[in-house]
Amino acid sequence: MPRVYSMLILLWVFSFTAIVPHSYGTTITWNQNIEEDLGGYNFYCGTSSGYYTTVIDLGNVTSYAFTDLFMYEHVPYFVALTAYDISDNESSYSLELALSLDDDIDYEDNCPDVYNPDQKDTYPPGGNGIGDACECNADFDCNQKVDLADVAILKQEFSRTDCSELDPCFPDCNGDGKVDLIDLVIMKTEFLRTDCPACP
């Protein structure tokens, strides 16, 4: 039977990698666990020390970039890792790391309060000057929350492939001209948000 990992000791290294001019993202790296039956790592993140609201299974890697997380700028975040073996036995938390993110370009940022390193603006198709990270792309009925009404709209328009600027599909969250599984994934990540800005 595989052994449960004891406390995992990690070496945290920060690097700041340019994504677009004047905009930076954060990546953490760590030393690989040496257990032969290592299955991978879980990443834990929250805004209070020791209380993690986000858990991501990273698989067997030794680095993680924060570009896919919805994170506010200037808010402290606390992160930790665990290792798990091939039988899903999980170690205790690594040492906790505190960090705060900043795009460093707030004066020209299309989403100044949310960590938004690549400045994506794809919704509605063609963009609207508000960064995707700052708006709820899945708030199709513009009631400032992502709820079951939005799920119904996505279901009704699912599989459309004729979306355009002249005839937009509101559930086309990523602006690729169709309503597909990518839009469903975006809906899933935003579901139950109640902090959506008013529609422009």
- CATH code: domain of residue 44: 2.60.40.10
82 and 148 in a single domain? The answer is no
pLDDT at residue number 15: 33
> Does the pLDDT of residue 91 top 50, yes or no?
yes
Q: Answer with the one of 99, 131, 154 that is the final residue of a domain.
A: 99
Q: Pick the residue with more confidence: 86 or 126?
A: 86
Amino acid at 182: I
Q: Tell me, yes or no, whether 112 lies in a domain.
A: no
Average pLDDT, the chain: 77
Shared domain check, 79 and 131: no
Q: Which domain holds residue 170?
A: 121-200
Centre a 10 Å sphere on the Cβ of residue 10 and count the other Cβ atoms it contains: 21
| Residue 152 pLDDT | 93
pTM of the model: 0.53
Report yes or no on 115 lying in a domain: no
Where would I find the beta strands (DSSP E) of the chain?
A: 13-20, 23-29, 38-46, 54-59, 63-65, 77-85, 97-99
Higher pLDDT, 7 or 140: 140
Asked if residue 90 and residue 17 are part of one domain, the reply reads yes
Please tell me whether residues 130 and 195 are part of one structural domain.
yes
pLDDT value, residue 172: 85
Asked whether residue 51 carries a pLDDT value surpassing 50, the answer given is: yes
Residue 116 lies in a domain: no
95 and 131 in a common domain: no
Query: DSSP label at 48?
Result: B
Residue 29 sits in the same domain as residue 77: yes
Give the pLDDT confidence score for residue 153 in this predicted structure.
Answer: 92
In this predicted model, which residue has the larger pLDDT, 130 or 25? 130
| Residues 194 and 132 occupy one common structural domain | yes
- Highest mean pLDDT: which of 47-51, 70-74, 75-79, 101-105? 47-51
Name the most confidently modeled range: 1-15, 67-81, 110-124, 182-196: 182-196
Tell me whether residue 55 is exposed, middle or buried, using C-beta atoms within 10 angstroms of its C-beta: 0 to 12, 13 to 18, 19 or more.
exposed
pLDDT exceeds 50 at position 160? yes
Q: What gap in Å lies between CA 156 and CA 66, rounded to an integer?
A: 33
The string of pLDDT tens digits covering residues 174-199 is 778 899 988 888 888 888 888 787 77
Q: Domain boundary residue among 99, 131, 151? A: 99
Answer yes or no: do 86 and 136 share one domain: no
The string of pLDDT tens digits covering residues 3-39 is 333 333 333 333 333 222 223 457 788 888 888 889 9
Residues 76 and 133 in one domain: no
49 domain-assigned: yes
Stretch 52-57: mean pLDDT, rounded?
92
Mean pLDDT, residues 79-89 taken together: 90
CATH, residue 176: 1.10.1330.10
The structural domain count of the chain equals: 2
